[in-house]
Each structure stands twice: as C-alpha cells, then as structure tokens.
Amino acid sequence: MLEISTKKQEGIYHIIITGEVDASSSIELDKQISMALDKGENKLLINCTGLSYISSAGLGVFMSYVEPMEAEDLKMVIFGLSTKVYNTFEILGLHQVLTIKQTEEEAKGYLNEI
C-alpha cells in the first residue's frame, strides 16, 4: 500500500512517500509530481524514508521527469532511500541521472544552493 503526502516549506515542495510503489500505485506518484510542477514548483524534495519497495514502473516515473526538469531548470532531489531500494536505483544506473542524497539536510542543502 502506498501513502503520499505533500507540504511546502521554505520554498521547497516536499513529497513524502510511505509504503510500496508498484505498477498500480506508481500512477499516484506520477500524479503528485505532475501536480507540483503544474503549480509552478521548481524545487522538489522527495522523502523516501518510508519507501519499502519500488518497482520498475515506479522508477520509470522518476525517469520520465529527468528531461523535462533539465529543460525547464527545475530541481528534484530524492533522499532517505533504504539500502535495498537504493540498490535498485544503482543496478539500473539511475543514481547517475537522478540526484540522490542520504539525509534531508543534505537534500535541502543541495536545493538551496541553486
């Protein structure tokens, strides 16, 4: 089961993911990111401390935003991945195209530098 909550704090839009992102629930993740961008948010902080599993469909959601975000100078940073989930990103080489930090402080620091 997937739960997603959002908040805006200090100019950064937070998307907090709890549970599992699979083929069916990845649609909700995509919707939340899309809604944030439609609102004009340009700094997205994806909190994955509660993410226990992500499927290839979930990874595809993140990948689908790489080019549009670069083209429009928008920033997205993911943090709090468990070792198991991070390994999934790493095996597919996604850690090289997505910005991934270990802690919320590091992630906020990255977003505030830009």
Model pLDDT for residues 44-58, shown as the tens digit of each residue: 999 999 999 999 999
pTM above 0.75, yes or no: yes
CA distance 24 to 26: 6
19 — alpha (psi -120 to 50), left (phi > 0) or beta? Answer: left
CA distance 10 to 70: 22
Q: Taking Cα atoms as reference points, which of 52, 50, 54 lies closest to residue 5? A: 50
At 103, the amino acid letter reads: T
Q: Taking Cα atoms as reference points, which of 18, 5, 2, 71 lies closest to residue 42? A: 71
Q: What is the pLDDT of residues 90-101, one digit of tens each?
A: 999 999 999 999
Superfamily of domain 2-113: STAS domain (3.30.750.24)
